[in-house]
Amino acid sequence: MNAPAQPPQPPQPLQRPRKPDWIRVKAPTSPGYAETRKLMRELNLHTVCEEAACPNIGECWTKKHATVMILGDTCTRACAFCNVKTGMPRPVDPLEPEHTAIAAAKMGLSHIVITSVDRDDLPDGGASQFVKVIQALRRETPQTTIEILTPDFRNKPESAVAAIVDARPDVYNHNLETVPRLYPTIRPGARYYASLRLLESVKRRDPSIFTKSGIMLGLGEERMEVHQVMDDMRSADIDFMTMGQYLQPTPRHTKVIDFVTPQAFDAYAQIARAKGFLQVASSPLTRSSYHAGDDFAMMRAARDEQLARARAD
């Protein structure tokens, strides 16, 4: 006799691992946060703080620090770790450079970080918009130092990156994101060594520009793979390395394999410093633009000290 058919079971909700205490943050409620949000809305600006669901948004926006994300809010790629929406982007906003400069001036920023979505639909990948933003910032708030965090400009002409370098940002950042082995699943639209070559080309074209790159930990990378990334970065003469904990933004994104302890982040930082980086930021909550202004000041001081020692020798 056949067993009675079982009624279909409802799908079980996807569970995300519980975050450890060391990466829990308070919900943003301060007046400074509200003022920053209002300013971004008034100027029709997007921020990676919101779009990428950054855990530090409460702290940063309270201090009126925001990372502006240019070229719209829609990315042409679909990386497995990223919360920025994917699709067909809208036309580039011609007012974006001036609005970004106005925001920086109104917030009184001594240091600003400008990033963007990937725009594979544009002939130059959006490089010309980065140039316009840098130029607008120099006009509107010349005392503000400028850090850019760009896409990889894959399959775009070399002149795209060259134009940005010639606009002379103070820091050129492009994140490697993870170890080479994980690229096919985590960053399928990019190529590890192409990203390294981009940063190498920046330093070769203008050695005075600081270069910076970062990776996420907790995606299943091995310790020695992280050490190899450090060596690869130093071979490309990258000045500043960041390491932070990957956090799964939604159940649809790639899972957290493990939560790396603060002690392990400290150990990675010690190794990175020993390998010769001018500056290292390594903690569970570290993100590319977290405390970027303070880190830039320390990096510049470290270079000055290094040059002074070289002259003395």
7 belongs to a structural domain: no
Q: How far apart are CA 302 and CA 289, in angstroms?
A: 19
Say yes or no to pLDDT of 137 above 60.
yes
What is the pLDDT confidence band of residue 65, given thresholds at 50, 70 and 90?
A: low
Provide the 8-state DSSP code for 76: S
62 belongs to a structural domain: yes
Question: Does the global pTM surpass 0.75?
Answer: yes
- Give me Rg for the CA atoms of the chain: 20
Burial class (CB in 10 A: 0-12, 13-18, 19+), 43: middle
Measuring CA to CA, which residue among 233, 217, 212 is closest to residue 279?
212
Provide the 8-state DSSP code for 254: P
What is the pLDDT confidence band of residue 13, given thresholds at 50, 70 and 90?
A: very low
> 169: number of CA atoms within 13 Å, CB side?
31
The kind and range of the H/E element at 207 are none
Q: Which residues lie below 8 Å from residue 230, measured CB to CB, with a gap of 6+?
A: 241, 271, 272, 275, 277
Domain of residue 190, CATH code? 3.20.20.70
Q: Which residues lie below 8 Å from residue 41, measured CB to CB, with a gap of 6+?
A: none
68 belongs to a structural domain: yes
153 belongs to a structural domain: yes
Burial class (CB in 10 A: 0-12, 13-18, 19+), 178: buried
103 belongs to a structural domain: yes
CA end-to-end distance (rounded Å), the chain: 92
Q: Of 7-11, 62-66, 201-205, 245-249, which one has max mean pLDDT? A: 201-205
Q: Which residues are annotated as a binding site for [4Fe-4S] cluster?
A: 49, 54, 60, 75, 79, 82, 289
Alpha helix ranges (H) inside 192-291: 192-205, 223-235, 262-274
Q: How far apart are CA 72 and CA 306, in angstroms?
A: 39
pLDDT digits (tens, 9 = 90+) for 67-123: 888 999 899 998 888 888 889 999 999 999 999 999 999 888 889 999 999 999 999
Cβ–Cβ < 8 Å for 43, 208? no
Q: How far apart are CA 243 and CA 269, in angstroms?
A: 8
239 belongs to a structural domain: yes
Share of the chain above pLDDT 90, in %: 63
Cβ–Cβ < 8 Å for 153, 121? no
Write the single-letter amino acid at 178: T
114 belongs to a structural domain: yes
Cβ–Cβ < 8 Å for 76, 32? no
Number of CB atoms found within 10 A of residue 2's CB: 4
240 belongs to a structural domain: yes
Q: Which residues are annotated as a binding site?
A: 49, 54, 60, 75, 79, 82, 289
Residues 36-51 have a mean pLDDT of 77
Question: Dihedral sign, CA of 86, 253, 288, 192?
Answer: negative
The boundaries of the domain holding residue 75 are 31-312
Residues 162-185 have a mean pLDDT of 97
Q: Which residues lie below 8 Å from residue 99, measured CB to CB, with a gap of 6+?
A: 43, 44, 45, 93
The count of structural domains within the chain is 1
Residues 188-197 have a mean pLDDT of 95
